[in-house]
Amino acid sequence: MKDQLVSKLGNKEAVIGIVGLGYVGMPLMVRYADEGYRVVGFDIDPKKVELLNNGKSDIEHIPDSVIKASVENGFEATCDYKRISEVDAIILCVPTPLNKYREPDLSFVLSTVKSCSPYLRTGQVMSLESTTYPGTTEEELLPRIEKQGFKIGKDFFLVYSPEREDPGNLKFTTKTIPKVCGGHTENCLEVGIKLYEYIIDQVVPVSSTKAAEMTKLLENIHRAVNIGLVNELKIVADKMKVDIHEVIDAAATKPFGFVAYKPGPGIGGHCIPIDPFYLTWKAREYGVHTRFIELAGEINSNMPSFVMKKIAQGLNERKKTINGAKILVLGIAYKKNVDDMRESPSVFLMEKLRNRGAEISYSDPHVPTFPKMREHSFDLDSIELNHDSLSEFDCVVLTTDHDKFDYEMIMKSSQFIVDTRGKFKENSPNIVKA
């Protein structure tokens, strides 16, 4: 059974099923389609399915032409999980958020496995790519698949291979970013390597699914802790009237032993604000308190409040208050040059400002209309930036430093700017660093 599946993957006769056609699933689908595999994409959103089947993209950095080419190469999207029986590989790319208690919410993963289970067959491989705590694949997926009568490693194969997508990063692509892969058994690992090695330049095997799950968490905890560090240093530097961005740039000239991380108004995206708490939650099972991780999370979560204080102080110096102030937020995506709004600190800041009575507007060249979100609601469209529109606002807050912004025009036209990204290098009385 293993040899047959490995052969089908190798000669590209295998049909690839990707469940979850978002920021992770879509680039993966494109890679398989580009390499000549037939791909069936599964999603619970019928509007997205229709859009994709018509060769249209709903993700800014993946153009329509790429989706159209994938459709021409045989890709099709569906909401019908009965078609799981048609595919040889099932790759799960569904969300793994936290609940309000900062505990892992595996409902999307488990409901997906439940939807797939009646249609699983021998000779398939299932790969989980969603970030989660070490042990998820063994503790949650394995028993559910075995309950269907399969023998893992013999007639069905199970792997964990964490996604490493970085939307908007032109330097590294799905193809060039090395892919970590762990299997439940040696046979599972062999199949997992074959599943990915024809579309990814380098596959990095590890000894188990747990090791692969922990690898992903380490990557994101490393970033979260270091961002927390520079965010805390930013507060200290501000008190000392030192520009933290100047300090970081100077430190980065050291050719060894230092990696530059930039502070900001908080952290966003699906990974950095969420993934560390998966390990924190699981560590409690072993009697371990992950103080370092939780401290970094606390610092990063409090950054919108720090920005709020700087806004309030700046307005107060101008004999104004947040209550009743017209405030423009520049950039609501979680990072520059993308349309990804997941866990964006800009949105948390907007809510804090609105709760204090501010009249909120935003401008983001990548997000023309504030999207429907599970936990946030604003009935707003992005405003066009020009001298007249900027001059109307009591305060302009730069939260996401998109390259498309005209920073010189913003500086000259705004009454008062709060810069959370260190983008404005000139010392000006109308600019406050936050």
Residue 190, pLDDT > 90, answer yes
Report whether pLDDT(410) > 90. Answer: yes
Which tokens is 301 given? 């979560």
pLDDT of residue 374: 72
- Which CATH code is given to the segment(s) 2-207? 3.40.50.720
Q: Is the pLDDT of residue 321 over 90?
A: yes
Kindly tell me if the per-residue pLDDT of 291 is higher than 80: yes
Q: Is the pLDDT of residue 271 over 80?
A: no
For residue 129, pLDDT over 80 is answered with: yes
pLDDT bin (cut points 50, 70, 90) of residue 392 is very high
- Residue 277 clears pLDDT 90, i.e. is over it: no
Spatial separation of the C-alpha atoms in residues 137 and 379, rounded to whole Å: 40
The dotted CATH code for 246-433 is 3.40.50.720
pLDDT at 165: 87
**DSSP H or E segment with residue 254:** none
Write out the catalytic residue numbers. 271
Cβ atoms within 10 Å, residue 154: 13
| CA atoms of 25 and 215, how far apart (whole Å) | 20
Instruction: Determine the distance from the C-alpha atom of residue 252 to the mean position of all C-alpha atoms in its chain, rounded to a whole number.
Output: 26
Residue 226: which pLDDT band, with cuts at 50, 70 and 90? very high
Q: Which residues lie below 8 Å from residue 259, measured CB to CB, with a gap of 6+?
A: 226
CA–CA separation, 190 and 183 (whole Å): 8
> Domains of the chain: which residue ranges?
2-207, 246-433
Longest dimension (CA), the chain: 75
Among 58-62, 118-122, 225-229, 317-321, the least confident range: 58-62
Statement: residue 97 has pLDDT above 90? no
What is the average pLDDT across 200-228? 96
Q: What is the mean pLDDT of residues 268-272?
A: 76
**212 near 132, Cβ under 8 Å?**
no
Residue 79's pLDDT band, with cuts at 50, 70 and 90, is: very high
Indicate left, alpha or beta for 405 from its phi (over 0: left) and psi (-120 to 50: alpha): beta
176 contact partners, CB below 8 Å, separation of at least 6: 201
> With bands split at pLDDT 50, 70 and 90, how would you rate the model's confidence at 377?
confident
Q: Report the C-alpha gap between 101 and 87 in whole angstroms.
A: 37
Q: Do 2-207 and 246-433 have matching folds?
A: yes
Residues 6+ apart with CB under 8 A from 227: 261, 262, 263, 264, 267, 272, 296, 300
Q: What percent of the chain has pLDDT over 70?
A: 100
- Residue 101 pLDDT > 80: no
